[in-house]
Structure formats: structure tokens, C-alpha cells
Amino acid sequence: MSSQKFVYLFEEGRADMKRLLGGKGANLAEMTRIGLPVPPGFTITAEACNEYNRLGRQFPEGMMDQVLEALRGLEAKTGKGFGDAANPLLVSVRSGAAVSMPGMMDTVLNLGLNDVTVAGLAALTGDERFALDCYRRFIQMFSNVVLEIEHHAFDSVMERYKRKLGLLFDYEIPAESLRAVLDEYKATVLQHTGREFPQDPQEQLVLAIRAVFDSWNNQRAIVYRKINKIPDDLGTAVNIQAMAFGNMGADSGTGVAFTRNPSTGEHELYGEFLVNAQGEDVVAGIRTPTPISRLKEELPQVYEQFTRTCKILEDHYRDMQDIEFTVERGKLYMLQTRTGKRTAAAAVKIAVDMVEEGIISREEALLRVDAEQINQLLHRQIDPSAKLDVIATGLPASPGAASGKVVFDADEAEKLGNEGEAVVLVRSETTPDDIHGIVKAQGVLTSRGGMTSHAAVVARGMGKPCVSGCEAIKINYAAQEFTVGHLTVKKGEVISIDGSTGAVMLGRVPMIDPVLSPEFETLLRWADEFRRLEVRANADTPEDAAKAREFGAQGIGLCRTEHMFMAQDRLPIVQEMILSDTEEARREALARLLPMQRGDFYGILKAMEGLPCTIRLLDPPLHEFLPGAEELAAELATMKAQGAPASQVKEKEFLLRKVHALHEFNPMLGHRGCRLGITYPEIYRMQARAIFEAVVELKKEGVEVLPEVEIPLVMDVAELALMKQEVLQAYAEVLAESGVEFEFAVGTMIELPRACVVADEIAAEAEFFSFGTNDLTQTTLGFSRDDAEGKFIPVYLEKKLLKDNPFAVLDRKGVGALMKMAVERGRATRPGLLIGICGEHGGEPSSVEFCHQIGLQYVSCSPYRVPVARLAAAQAAIREKTAVPEQVGE
């Protein structure tokens, strides 16, 4: 009668048997298989765990027989005996499922110790205190994870002895006291379980296996599986392995190492080693480990064997490895190997080096680098090794880090900035009036507003760090200070901000400057060979456009014209235009803006010579260009109190009334986008004319330009048709005046659910689509970004109602489904219709992959994200070709 095979010796398994043996077991088997020195052991399969559960917590028939047989094999291989008083075999018992899963029982070491074998261990190590301490720890670990007795019950015993003896550290307790401690430990177990601590090693083993199996169904594990969508019938394997001791003298030791430098990617062994020690000692911080190079000096043969082994593992796994090992009396044992975590810089270098070393292909190299992570390489960063004193955390509104003196006023920021001082501008929120100060500041910190607040948008555009919506800081402009809890920070004090994490710190912190390595350039060049998506940039100025080209942008996917309106010299004219009560007065103000806008477009179109440039006509609600009502009311009150002239008061009152009249309940859904062009066609007409006049100038200079005029916030083809007429009319006028003919396209943003639904009709008029996924996400989910990111998205993430912030990672199921509909319907009307994305998702790797999948022609993102998008686009193309799904989790 043949029983099912529940136990695999390490010699019987392979790396690809993770489903059956778990990740840990499969890797130990793989190392054993390729001849590396692994302490012998075996794995009880995950199927055994499932059987156990199916049978109502009964070991399946034959399983224990197989375990005992494997154990006899271990005894034979090691020459030790399980429970042998003189030369005891001790084993570790570890859980290990196919996917790493916190919440399950983890490890019991030194199983096999008891009142008898402890003496054998003492004799073998020549250190009775150590053997007793091992036994003490074994009882505590076993009692905790197998018998479920709280650590506290044992810790209090130790505390008592240390106090009595006047000692500070556990390892100072002498052997005789440890014996007393052991007695009390055993009494504690008796008291809690009503039974003696199990002395029979085989009983210890049975209980430990049972504990691993049971931990599969504990509450934490169940919840974790539910959240991470891990099937309940995966089960966990159990690894049982002979102990190797690194603390058997000067020719023993323990260490961890990376096969390459995980920080820089340099091809060199990198790690730590501790002579005459066990892994636990390193963790306990009792002794300071030495660099791995010391191993070369102290145990040269072992070092040589280890480097050889590392090379074997790297070649075998075809990636940099993170290795744990132990040396027992001059003999090397490999305890674990896994793919090593690394910095972005190291990831790039290792990937490129490995291609050049012939280990992996270019496709593999491109897939190896986390596209999101390389964003770090383009911004100044806080030194990851620095200890930080974080006083508050806001939203990570614009990446990079900055330090500087606190100032509360844009004028002062400009002044000090011009004098060469590093300053951080701190405001409750910024307005167009503050831009000159932002330009000169190292970074911006605001106490209100979200990721799309004025400060955030402007800072991202400038590539400057910004932390927004940091509600913990309370600003007192009058006192020129801010408080966080009980802490007060005055003007002139230095703070640091990390726009990548939202952290605010007191004082200066160490930073790392971005370095673009040759390997980085190489990797991006390869990316360009594989990707199908084009990558454009969102840029509003010639400087941004130049930056974008430098990073490899193939055009501008979004040039916002409102930022031009906010420039300090334009704003008064823009305000005049807004305050006009007649179309005539409005036209007059617009006429003065025309040459300025023409200059803007001249600059940006010239910078993008030979490449397409999508220019979006005015989008934001007009009240964004006016001061806030609260501010005005305060100014008005002050003027009245100080007896200002009646005419001035009247003017201010008029302004306040206009601000009130333009007030909107939900500006995001208000009078903006093409609705402005529809109510004030003269604004769009002026903008179109400015674009075309700039094109004419450039054509005359022989500069080739490809302008694309974009109408925002369209929900129906009728809107687009009407606005297109205005644009075509402007072209007709400019053509008549200049006699210069040229090509251009007129298209629209797709940023409302209705636009997706009626995309077939819109495509009849639109020569291109560009998805504005920021707004499309807001409307599809009904989430106001400025409110949601501060108020309820954190709760949603915490309660796992959302996997990601939908403003960072495109919501494929909702927003994505509407995009797909729009692509299909748009192209049904106009085959081959040019479709891109210019929302912030255009620079986020998972979103870029989705854009590739639904067949967009390009993504557009901020200049600093262009490299991220290039890599992500290549990865999407390679994954599609090789049918490798996007990696989920680890």
C-alpha cells in the first residue's frame, strides 16, 4: 500500500517546486541540488498541511513515518543522534509557504534540546553557559510559538534575576543562575499548560510541526490572505534542518552578504561577518559585526569558497543574491539565498552590467529595474542612512528634498533668494501672487491644499520640492512663526522638507545629489528600442521644454496656458480682463495680452522644433486669478480702519463683490475649461491667434513646428465644434494677414465620463484625444482630489478599500474602463486617431502599462518623469511580447 509522498529531502526538490515546498524549502533544495554546502534537511509539503486541515487537524496517514525516516537520514548524514546525550542532533523548524506571509509561525531553533542533551551541547561547545542559555532560549521560543505562552511570562523571570544580581545584560548572568532560571521557566510552562515542558525531542518535533500547520489558519494569516487575495488552499510547508553552529570557536562564525553592492551596484562582495557567533548575536547587537572582507583575513580558504559560491548562486539565479551563511569549525554552510533588495542606482548598474557580462538579456535588464524607483535618481534626496527628526508629515506634492531658512512671505523669499540664501517658503496656501517667491525658494511647505493645489502644481512644474496640506503646522503670520504641537519654529530657523515622502524636519539634513550614470543612459537607450509608446512631457515654459528634450521627451503632450497668465507681469492685465463688464473692455485687455502670449508660444514652439506640441487653451476658473475673499475682506477692513481714501475703498469693495460673484460651490465642476471659451469666445480666439502668429514668425525663420490646439473639458461634440470654429477663424485671419500657410491639429482633452461615452461623436470633430486622467478620476470616482487625499483616501487605504491612491495609480477598473471605451469609440469614427494621456498617471509605471495595453500612441508626464515613462513603456512592451503579467506584490 503506497502512501502519498509528504516529505522531500533537500536533495529531491528544485527551485521551481515552490507551490509544493514553499519558497524557503525550494531554495534550500535548489542550493543542495547544485552542490552547495547546505546543512542537510527536508521539507514537509504544503499538501500535507492541506490534508491536515481537511482531516480536522490530524496528520495525514504516513506523514510522520516519512518525517521520522528523513530524520534518520539526517542522523546518518551528520553523525549525530536526535536526543543523543553525547552528540545531539539539533534542528530548526521553519514554516514556508509559496508566498511570503507574515502572521504565521516562523522559526524554532535548537529543537532537540532537553535536560539531557543540553549537557552534550555544553561538552561539544566547551561553553556550559552558552549551552544553558541556548536551552533557556529554546524553552522560551518553543513555549511562545508552539505552546502560546506570552514572552512576558519568561522575561519577568530574567528581569528578577538580573535585578537580584545587579546586572544589566542577559549575557552577564552566570551559569549557576541560568540553571535556576531554567527551573523557573519549566515551572512556568507547567503552570500555564498543566504539563511539564516536553523532554522528548520527537514530541517537541510533532508539536512544532502541528504549530506550523495550525498557524496557517490563525486570524492574522486569514486576514492577510483575504486582503492580498492569496488562496486559502495554498497551505504552508515545514522545513526541518540540522542546526549549524557558528559559535564553536575562532574557526566558526556567521554572516550575511550581497553578491554585489546593493547601494551602488558595484560588482563586489558586500556584507558583514561575525567570528564565533550565531545569527541571534548579530541581531541582539551584543557585538559589532565586521565587513565581509575580514573573513578573507581570518579564514582565507572559507572566504575563497564563499566567493566561489556567491558566483555560482548569481550565475544560477541570474541576479544579485542576498545570502545568509554560517561557518562551523572551518566548514561553510549556506542557510538562505534570495534575490537581494537594492537601491535604484544599484538596480540600474547591476542590470546593465549583467547584460554586458552576458548573464541576462536586454529585455530582462529592462524588466529588472523598478521604473517608479528610478525617479529618485533625478532628484536631490535625503541620505537614506540619515537619522531624521520628523516634526510633521504632509502630502508628497513634488519630489526632491530641500533645506533652508523659514520665510512666510514671497517677497522676502525672493529677496533672500537673490542674496544667495537658501529659504523654504512656508504658507497656508500659495496663490499666483507668490510665484516670484517660489522661483527663488529651495522648496515650498503649505499647511492647506492637496496634490493639485497651486503650490503643488507650480512646484512640480519647476522641479522644486514641495510638501502640501501639512495640516499639523499652524502658521501665525503676525508672529512670523509656525507651531507644530508644542514646538515653535520662527522665521529664519532652518527646516528641511522631503517632497517625496511629505516629511518636514527641523534643521539641515544630509542629502545626496542626483547623478546620472552612464549605465542609466544605456538602460534608457535600450528602453527606447523596445517601447511602442511615445513619451512626451507636460511643460509650460521653454526652460521646461528644453529640460524635457534633455530627458528624451518626443514632444509636449500638455502645455498649460494658465501658468502663463499667472506670471507677475501678466496677472494685472488678466485681472483687468476678468473684471471687465463689457466684451469690448475684455477685448481691449486681451489685445494687450496677445503679444505676451505670442512670445510664450514662440519660445516653447521653438524649443520643441520638429516635435509636436499640444497647447491647451485656458482651463481654470477665472476666480483662480483673483485674490481670495477672506484676504480681500481683511484688507478692506484695515483700509477702512485706517481711513483710506473713499475711492480706494470703493475699488477694493468692487473687487470683493466680483470675487463673491465668481465664487463657486464646486470649482472643479464649475465655470472652467471650454465653458470659459463658450461664454467668452474672445479669450480662446486671442489664444489661438497668439499661437498662429508665433507659428508664422517661426516659419519665416525656417523653424519647423507642429502645433496641436487643445480644447479642455469637453463633454459633447457641440462644444468642440463651436470652439474649433473659433480656432479655424483665428487661423483664417492670420493666414489672410500673413499669407503663410501651415499645418496644425485641433483636438480635445477627454477628462469627463460623458466624453468617454460619446467619444464616437466627439471624434468626428477631434483630430486627437488626450486623456486628462486627473479630472477623469475625480469625476468617475466622485473624489475631489484636494479634499480626498487629505481627508478620506488615507482611511480607504488603511481599511483596504483601495489598493492604491487612484490619483497616483490609474484605477483600471473604473477610469480605465471608461478610457478603453473612449479609445474604441473614438477610433471607430476616426481610425488611427492620435490618442495620448497627459494626466499625472502618464508618468506612473502601472498606468503607463495600461496605456500601452489599450493602444494609446503616447504618454505625457512632467519632464522629470520622462525617464520613468520611457522605462515603463519598454517594460509594458516586453511584458506584452513575453506574456509576463505585471508583478503583483513581491
Q: How far is the CB of 657 from its own copies (least distance, A)?
A: 9
Residue 627 in contact with its own copies, rule: CB under 8 A: no
Which one, 310 or 818, has the nearer CB to its own copies? Answer: 818
Q: Which of 615, 788, 823, 851 binds its own copies (CB under 8 A)?
A: 788
> 482: which strand partners?
475, 489
Q: How far is the CB of 752 from its own copies (least distance, A)?
A: 4
Which one, 298 or 635, has the nearer CB to its own copies? Answer: 635
Q: Which of residues 684-713 bind its own copies (CB under 8 A)?
A: 713
Q: Which of 702, 799, 885, 888 binds its own copies (CB under 8 A)?
A: 799
Is 316 among the catalytic positions?
A: no
d(CA 705, CA 834): 18
Stretch that binds its own copies, among 69-77, 312-320, 483-491, 785-793 (CB under 8 A): 785-793
Q: Is 14 exposed, middle or buried (0-12, 13-18, 19+ CB in 10 A)?
A: middle
Task: Tell me which H or E stretch contains 462.
Answer: helix 454-462
Q: How far is the CB of 799 from its own copies (least distance, A)?
A: 7
Residue 103 in contact with its own copies, rule: CB under 8 A: no
Annotate each residue in 650-669 with x if it binds its own copies (CB under 8 A) or - if it does not, as one string: -----------x--xxxxxx
Residue 808 in contact with its own copies, rule: CB under 8 A: no
Q: Which of residues 126-145 bind its own copies (CB under 8 A)?
A: none
DSSP structural state of residue 196: P
d(CA 484, CA 474): 6
Residue 786 in contact with its own copies, rule: CB under 8 A: yes
Q: Which of residues 755-784 bind its own copies (CB under 8 A)?
A: 757-758, 775, 778-784
Q: Which of 226, 357, 792, 828 binds its own copies (CB under 8 A)?
A: 792
Q: Which of 210, 318, 436, 675 binds its own copies (CB under 8 A)?
A: 675
Closest CA to 439 of 419, 418, 453: 418
Which one, 532 or 671, has the nearer CB to its own copies? Answer: 671
Q: Which DSSP string do the residues of 640-708 spell out, in sequence order?
A: HHTT--HHHHHHHHHHHHHHHHH--SSGGGSS-THHHHHH-HHHHHHHHHHHHHHHHHHHHTT---EEE
Q: How far is the CB of 499 from its own copies (least distance, A)?
A: 21
The length of the chain in residues reads 890
Closest CA to 5 of 16, 21, 18: 21
Residue 641 in contact with its own copies, rule: CB under 8 A: no
Single-letter residue type at 86:
A
Residue 854 in contact with its own copies, rule: CB under 8 A: no
Residue 809 in contact with its own copies, rule: CB under 8 A: no
Which one, 57 or 657, has the nearer CB to its own copies? Answer: 657
Which one, 463 or 814, has the nearer CB to its own copies? Answer: 814
Q: Which of the following is catalytic: 379, 454, 623, 852?
A: 454
d(CA 515, CA 290): 29
Residue 407 in contact with its own copies, rule: CB under 8 A: no
Residue 517 in contact with its own copies, rule: CB under 8 A: no
Which one, 432 or 673, has the nearer CB to its own copies? Answer: 673
Say which residue the cell 528602453 belongs to.
527
Which one, 385 or 666, has the nearer CB to its own copies? Answer: 666
Q: Which of 133, 498, 619, 719 binds its own copies (CB under 8 A)?
A: 719
Helices (H), ranges, 197-299: 201-215, 219-227, 279-284, 293-298
Residue 753 in contact with its own copies, rule: CB under 8 A: yes
Residue 787 in contact with its own copies, rule: CB under 8 A: yes
The three-state (H, E, C) secondary structure of 542-584, written as one string? HHHHHHHHHCCCCCEEEEECHHHHCCCCCHHHHHHHHHCCCHH
Is 660 among the catalytic positions?
A: no
Could you give the C-alpha distances from 808 to 397, 398, 674, 801, in angstroms and in order? 11, 12, 26, 16
Q: How far is the CB of 185 from its own copies (least distance, A)?
A: 41
Residue 725 in contact with its own copies, rule: CB under 8 A: no
Question: How do beta strands 253-258 and 236-242 pair?
Answer: unpaired
Residue 748 in contact with its own copies, rule: CB under 8 A: no
Which one, 439 or 678, has the nearer CB to its own copies? Answer: 678
Residue 649 in contact with its own copies, rule: CB under 8 A: no
Which one, 125 or 580, has the nearer CB to its own copies? Answer: 580
Tell me the three state secondary structure of residue 632: helix
Which one, 33 or 671, has the nearer CB to its own copies? Answer: 671
Q: Which of 212, 444, 556, 715 binds its own copies (CB under 8 A)?
A: 715
Q: Which of residues 414-473 bind its own copies (CB under 8 A)?
A: 449-450, 471
Residue 849 in contact with its own copies, rule: CB under 8 A: no
d(CA 437, CA 733): 39
Residue 726 in contact with its own copies, rule: CB under 8 A: no
> 291: which strand partners?
272
Residue 171 in contact with its own copies, rule: CB under 8 A: no
Q: Are 188 and 149 in contact (CB under 8 A)?
A: yes
Q: How far is the CB of 407 from its own copies (least distance, A)?
A: 23
Q: Are 659 and 636 in contact (CB under 8 A)?
A: no
C-alpha cell, 33:
541540488
d(CA 672, CA 625): 12
Q: Which of the following is catalytic: 756, 838, 851, 861?
A: 838
Q: Which residues of 66-94 are buried (b: 16+ CB within 10 A; e: fewer)?
A: bbeebbebbbeebebbbbbeeebbbbbbb
Q: How far is the CB of 679 from its own copies (least distance, A)?
A: 5
Could you give the C-alpha distances from 172 to 133, 162, 177, 186, 265, in angstroms and in order? 11, 9, 10, 21, 41
Q: Which of 109, 818, 866, 877 binds its own copies (CB under 8 A)?
A: 818
Q: How far is the CB of 675 from its own copies (least distance, A)?
A: 5
Stretch that binds its own copies, among 100-108, 404-412, 791-799, 841-849 (CB under 8 A): 791-799
d(CA 178, CA 128): 10
Which one, 712 or 863, has the nearer CB to its own copies? Answer: 712
Could you give the C-alpha distances from 158 to 119, 181, 195, 658, in angstroms and in order? 21, 7, 22, 75
Which one, 515 or 661, has the nearer CB to its own copies? Answer: 661
Q: What are phi and psi of 543, to 5 degrees?
A: -65, -50
Binding residues for its own copies, rule CB under 8 A, total 53
Residue 796 in contact with its own copies, rule: CB under 8 A: yes
Could you give the C-alpha distances from 801 to 224, 450, 582, 773, 804, in angstroms and in order? 14, 21, 50, 21, 9
Which one, 775 or 844, has the nearer CB to its own copies? Answer: 775
Closest CA to 401 of 275, 505, 471: 505
Residue 814 in contact with its own copies, rule: CB under 8 A: yes
Q: How far is the CB of 462 from its own copies (least distance, A)?
A: 22
Torsion of CA 555, 559, 564, 566, to 10 degrees: -140
Residue 309 in contact with its own copies, rule: CB under 8 A: no
Give the Cβ contact number of residue 43 at 10 Å.
30
Question: How do beta strands 7-9 and 91-97 pair?
Answer: unpaired
Q: Which of 86, 180, 801, 884 binds its own copies (CB under 8 A)?
A: 801
Q: How far is the CB of 759 from its own copies (least distance, A)?
A: 11
List of residues contacting its own copies (CB under 8 A): 449-450, 471, 661, 664-671, 673, 675, 678-679, 713, 715-716, 718-719, 722, 751-754, 757-758, 775, 778-784, 786-788, 791-792, 795-796, 799-802, 811, 813-815, 817-818
Q: Which residues are catalytic?
A: 454, 838
